[in-house]
Structure 1
């Protein structure tokens, strides 16, 4: 490991863990002195068991029996190696306020994902994820479905955004992927102006902040 890499790791470790979690959309359920308690960002739970000691700037997930510094958490959260994490860090902004596009993921081969069905959004975990992203549920309901999918023999669920070819972009708090066939999504309102978005969360965020606009004001293209 080179000197620059060690310096980058040390810089990341010293970032405030509470601010980092806030940038991901997680806020403490309770605070006692220096201890900040969260619903675990690493798994689904109903009782907060993920603790950050702000004085020590260390975290511990009592349900998993794991803990460490910010780098340890980011590697688990994003499912990446140290090298991949460092390659995707671009200064203070990406560390404290990562966006969907900056999230580090390992895309699974599309042919491994099998869609089992799509339903009305109802999962508590997914609805909470949307709320953390400040996307109103009624807007998400209009454009998304709750997708059940199989990957490597296991069944999962996520927020699905359908493309024009019938495939889905899939998101949940821990995973980002696409099912085949991969394609763009067009929303034709017969308007005279088109707005293009890189991903569907950008599109949903735009709709959330422009709820007063007439539905047919723009056409939309989501590149997915």
Structure 2
């Protein structure tokens, strides 16, 4: 094998890829481009053929560079893929977009909450929102607690605990008696089986421990009330 020749082929392929991407992203009709990307995402999801995972991961990056309702919805569809690496690409793209375009990402999440054909995406989205750390995310993540899929509910609970905002406690208390069981992956432990109620109780305890003293328990001037 001529290693120098193969290296040159790699460099040439990389140059061709970057040139093609530049031409694509230079399209002036952004709406048409967004729709084209969304259609290709839908097509690749249906194919489930060899190479589809790689193409979907690439599409996640392209969709992130053409923010629009169609591409945000497409990113959430990619987030529903069964390949963890593909979900990671889509989740990172949504998180990056959410930093500057939180309202747009929020709207896409709200649309996803009403979708009947999403599963894994609804388990991933709470963590995307938790990483953004935007205050409105608490109320939005709390909506996942009302879903029928206990796995999505569990993700919502864990995300709220990770956000560390005691405002989530009132939402979590509604689940303390929930007997639905979920399986969690605990680092160093493996699979852990527990009920939604137990998970909610753990989250409440964690948030209570992190929250400062309630100002209502103090009299003016900082003296504690008896």
Smaller-chain TM-score bracket: under 0.3
- Bigger Rg, structure 1 or 2: 2
Q: TM-score, normalised by structure 2?
A: 0.24
Larger RCO of the pair (alpha carbons < 8 Å, separation 6+): 1
- Which structure has more helix as a fraction of its residues? 2
**Greater strand fraction, Structure 1 or Structure 2:** 1
TM-score scaled by length of structure 1: 0.24
